[in-house]
Structure 1
Amino acid sequence: MEITREFLEENRKRFFENRGNRIAQRAAVNNGLLEASIDRVEDRTNRHSFNIELKEKEIRNQKQSGRCWMFAALNLMEYKLCTKYKLKGFELSKNYTLFYDKLERCNYFLDSIIKTVDEDLDGRLVSHILTDPMGDGGQWDMIKNIINKYGLVPAYAMKESVNSSATANLNNYLTKVLRMYAKNLRKSYEKDKDIETLKIMQEEYMIKVYDILSIALGTPPERFDFEVRNEDEEFISDKNLTPQEFFKKHIEVNLDDYISLINAPTRDKEYYKSYTVDFLGNVMELDKVKYVNVPVEVMKSGILKQLKDGEPVWFGCDVGQFFYRKESYLDLSTVKIYDLLDVQYDFSKEDRLDYKESLMTHAMVFVGCDYDEKTNKINRYKVENSWGKDAGDRGYLVMSDQWFDEYMYQVLISKKYLDERVIKAYEEEARHLKPWDPMGSLASIKF
């Protein structure tokens, strides 16, 4: 249609004749859409009270980086360590895991470029690979690979740097270098058609990448001393450890005992089947990103069992949806923007995935919930975030069960809390999803 002067005049008149439009306009113009839409009537979905609450530890702050998935995973490791040794708190180095994730991810990118040298440069696959070669985001299997290969170190053994706390410049310039290397690899292949030459070039490029990361983030330690005093004033000391020894000896978590569950109710993803995403990962020789698609109630059952057993739960969701950050609410009853705009919001979870309206954007940790002890139905969840203690309620959010249904996409559950049907599905050969599938999204939201 053509937007004519008559169309504008008629709709201007119609708009101002409606009292609701005039009220909504004043509220939104003066307060912003979000504040103008807030329903401040308190209900059961957004109270910070829970009948399961794990012991609180110090809230972490990812600052101006997209390392939420990494922080959430290391929060689990810290909880395990603190529980084992009765510590008030202990911080693991996220700069250490960031260094090796970026090193491995650069290698993965160059390998992907070599694998696709026969693909058209302007084709969808190569274009996708080149779009964001060095972001911060990730998924569970990616941090699992880093920990299994490189171990972990205390925060004092590799402290935060300016570039780990605010990653934009490092990512920007490293991306430029990687795209230049991609160009060089493809042009070399156009000239000689020699894959072996490309592999030699890749090794030379990775030497330079190591130097870049060392300059920006510092060089990871090879050995360190683990020393801490617990709540009983006992001094614990273990000297000259490698990062791998520290993880295996003092954290004692078998990361392979956990299964990543997703809820993607789309026609192309059958329930109780495992899936992987092509060209998504970091450590070439270790596990691919893999998960089992299950009904949302299977997720909830696993979460409740794991929390009852005193263990936090890593998860990924679309945090920006109907999120009232000021009061730390993730629910469907507080932010009423579509009521304010008088729009009927008719979008199912399946539709939102298919039409690019929603995907996983942020990873956090469940550390409690409120549930009905007769039916085991969860009412709301206590969420530990990584945006610092001044964000939310002392760093914690509350998520309603209704919000969970619509915007929860991934949870990590120990096999011991899952039935054989899920475990069998995970052990089967994974079905391959295209690189741009919404389930291949990387959690990377910054505060």
Structure 2
Amino acid sequence: MAELIVADHVFVNDGEGTVLSPGAVEVADGRILSAGAVTGPRPSGQGVTDLGARVVLPGLVNAHAHTPMSLMRGTAEGHSLLSMEGFLTVLRSREEHLTPDLVPASVAVSCGDMIRHGTTAFADQYFYADEIAPTVERSGLRARIAWGIVELGDDTARARELAAATRFAESLPPGGRVSAWVGPHAYFVDNTPEAMAAELALARRLDAGLHVHFATSGEEEKWCHEHYGRSALEVLRDLGMLDVPTILAHCTTVPVDQLPLLAGTRAAMTVIPSVAMMSGVPAAPVRAALDHGVLVALGSDNVCNNTNTDLFEEMRTLGKLAAFTSRVPDQVTSREILEIATVGGHRALAGGPDDGRLVAGAVADLIAVPVTEIARGPVGAQSLEAALVYGTSGASVTHSMADGAWLMADRAVRTLDLAAAARRQQADYDILSSRMHARGTRETST
């Protein structure tokens, strides 16, 4: 049955700044049937959801996340997880004690955070992906979940991780709301060319994508110049690694003169401005990427390194960081930033060309924010786009829909028991801490 969603303002996100005031969006079977201005009496009655004095806009897309890692939220303070020191000290010291039973509650907490802050679709990369998927299914979010692969050139580890990734990928139907991708942790750093070839073959066979950390420190760039005599992107191009949908997360050290190699490929440069700032690394070259025709998406990374999953904050930070580092005001415009966080994200997740817009044929993923909670200047003085990027918090989102189903209404998440998930997460963390303590005690005693 079709549902008609009415609101005082509908931000179409069509690249023209179109706002329907009032507007109506008709959805059915997970798709938008139509969107248009209300010109006569305001619709009411059965099948109509009137959101009143709110702005309805497309849901945001988190194109790089690690949902189980909310179990370790905040533990990276004082460290950069984009460095080997931080990776080993903060993450590996805890992950070596992590077991599958400690994953689902933290996934639920992370999914709840995303729903409450306006995200309707995301890309995940972590091991124990088979423990992630069932909770994501229950959450109602749209997702591409990649089994994270670390093999470090070890033949046994490579075979084990590829087998696990294959089993997981084959367990989910392709093209569904939740589907499986392949997740090399980092090319040339902890995934060798031999593993990369196998990962690419797997992605092609399953019609899936690749989700990888890239250009976080320049390590793979140095390695490729030493072993191939050319840049990492040139090597990836020549190996065919950019011929399937690929999320290249971070890209803080990608050489600007190499960006044209990404234009026209199926790869998305997925940036996380808050993590760049908190880790003390360069800002990703967003303006240059856009100018070269590169697909750009936005992510939150993990909440060890980034304390929240609020993509409104990430949008605001992207704009400010780009202006600050370039010394050019509004170097990336509000319209471009919204495009990155919506359409760019859906394309990074191999969605349709209109997904991320409120137009006929697009996926029915949308959110609503009260007009009173958008810090906007007088109409005519400030665009709604600028107010959404710079004057809105994800905490103001009251309603969230993904795939045509309401995940949250009046700030109440419908699909998950978040209080129970938080209690279980605390118990899981206590277990993890006790395991770390016990091992530390044994090591000290020897």
TM range (shorter): under 0.3
TM-score between the two structures when normalised by the length of structure 1: 0.21
Larger radius of gyration: 1
The higher-RCO structure (CA 8 Å, 6+ apart) is 1
TM-score of the pair, normalised by structure 2 = 0.21
More strand by share: 2
